[in-house]
Structure 1
């Protein structure tokens, strides 16, 4: 079994369990900060939660100047398979990362309420459209920073429901904010 190690946005490759334990014991892999994944796991988990991993000695920090990460893979190390749709799941987004998607979902309804408050029905559609596109673009940038492959999503930001659908597919989430946008848009047409 090859175990992938991930820390601070970097995938360090795959290691067998015995080699991973040696790297942890030497301080090359940060036990308390790294996430791991292998083909039998549904998602990334903390290194300490992986069965068979031995915690580092308590005095390790006193004995070593800790390096910034594990050593590079040597030529004799097996090449890990490429990350693709069958590989590990994307790294989890930070808490609150979906907040922007929910803001996008309710913009049509918020715009109608603003238009009614300003007594300008239908007069802000261009501003609303620009806000939607801008927020979709900003959301895509945040997803890219979180390690997601967002190639091709930028063009869909002009078609907000398509963007929200693709976003939910990419993050393997439910379609809640997509449905909320459709409902919000339909309600905005009825006002």
Structure 2
């Protein structure tokens, strides 16, 4: 039994499992059953699940409890629309304000992500890579916008990232990994380092354009 001692850790763990596809769509999330995974009280788990429901990560109905949402193409496209709007603006601000340390961090996070993504098409155990891929992808996109100067935009993108990944793993074969994603991330990196905000914004839009063909 994993000994989580605070509500934040439990919240982050369940949200990460949802984003990685570890909790099947439609599954009922019962606090008494989840206690075995987290070693905390059922009352804490109910509070965590209510918070996740407020964030749009799980569904809640009176008398029926909590469930993992079924994937929805309409919901995915709505999330992508909002994410592109905010991320292109935040990236533009970061490009204008980011210093050499920002460039170094962006290069470093992309290096980890690109190294992993280059290996993923050749593995027979893709699912095992999904949690770390999710983390590396988040780090890259968050570093891209980290110099934007707006905590509100960064917080919104953090939430949208997890909601996007949760929908993606349920709708796209291969847990959301697809051909061309390595080149898309490289295009975003190159434009950002070249301080070319319009090209970076276009690269971000191209990165998410595939959802319109689903």
TM surpasses 0.5: no
Specify which structure has the higher proportion of strand: 1
Higher RCO (Cα < 8 Å, 6 or more apart)? 2
Structure (1 or 2) with the larger CA radius of gyration:
1
Relative to the length of structure 2, the TM-score reads 0.27
TM-score, normalised by the number of residues in structure 1:
0.30
Q: Which has the higher helix share?
A: 2
